Amino acid sequence: MSNTTEEYLKKVPELSLNAYTDGEPSDQKKFVNDLFTGLKQYGFIILKDHPVKVDLLEEAYRLSEQLFSLPLEQKNKYVSPAGGGQRGYTPFGTEHAKDQSVPDLKEFWHVGRELPPGHKYYAQYPQNVWVRELQSFKATFLKMYESLDYVAQILLKSLTGPLELNADYFDKMIENGNSILRLLHYPPIPEGADPRCVRAAAHEDINLITILVSASASGLELLTREGEWLPVETDPNNLIVDSGDMLSRITNDVIPATTHRVINPKGENKSRYSMPYFIHPNPEAVLSCLESCKGDGAKYPDILAQKFLEQRLQEIGLM
């Protein structure tokens, strides 16, 4: 193995989205190839030169810190009546990774898609919960949701070539989809915490792809195909992208969902904030093996995306 390959295997690929959206055909072709290869080899890529504005990122993190600094009594008023942690506040120690008996050391807030009354999915999606104490909270996070949704559309469309799909395949699948923006807070590790508990135990994401706004502190690690834990670190204004179970399922594991975790701090025991956007299909979408990925046959039966989501939410303690 060459030194160049060894170095490549030790670092998550970093791609410029601008090369795809505004580059020459050769730049676009390289981006598509690097994205597809990066997701196959790592399940992760890092995205720079994206359209999410720096001032929006900074404002979102400022508001997120203010949100989680509210007294617990106030935060608990924002637990969604719909249940399942799908909107609003989910308290510390509620969620656990699949097949784990102890909870993750985190609290979070979910923002979902806003649909007008009368829309065919309106009754299926819980209503968003907004923080009355923070004046610009709603406007900021709806803008963040919209911005990350736009990036998701670009990334999924760029995968249609390697997967031999019509250019609008994913557009139709995620149109008005049940995607979720999660505001995450990992507080300082509490004294007396169960030693088995970590900030986020090893897991794979449920959805198609996740776009993660780079966190305020280190701790994210992915499990390489060789079985080693690799830190995922980048500039705070970059985005981190990973593939989830739904994409793995429809590609027959050609693009695997990669196991990742957030470890407890090794240095100063301080808060960590992050902001993943989970891209989900709409409730009518069927997760079905793509023809170009069938090989010797589909490994998984067809299933409605909504049913698959509900199964996984039960497995992690949110339903």
Condensed to tens digits (0 to 9), the pLDDT of residues 43-59 reads: 999 999 999 999 999 99
Amino acid at 153: Q
Cβ contacts of 216 within 8 Å, gap of 6 or more: 61, 236, 271, 272, 273, 274
Q: Give me the phi and psi of 67, to 5 degrees please.
A: -55, -55
Structure tokens at 232: 């995922």
pLDDT at 2: 39
Query: Which amino acid makes up residue 82?
Result: A
Phi-psi bin for 12: left (phi > 0), alpha (psi -120 to 50), beta? beta
pTM exceeds cut of 0.85: yes
Q: What is the pLDDT of residues 172-184, one digit of tens each?
A: 999 999 999 999 9
d(CA 307, CA 283): 8
| Angle, CA 236 vertex, CA 221 and CA 185 arms, to 5° | 65
Residues 6 or more apart whose CB falls under 8 angstroms from that of 81 comprise none
Evaluate whether 84 touches 318 at the Cβ level (below 8 Å): yes
CATH number, span 30-315: 2.60.120.330
Residue-level pLDDT at 103:
75
As a whole number of angstroms, the distance between CA 260 and CA 231 comes to 10
The β-bridge relationship of strands 14-16 and 44-48 is parallel
Per-run averaged pLDDT (10 residues), the chain, 319 residues: 46 93 95 95 92 93 95 92 80 72 83 95 92 94 97 97 97 96 89 77 90 80 89 89 96 93 80 93 96 94 92 73
Domain-wise residue ranges, the chain: 30-315
**pLDDT for residue 9:** 52
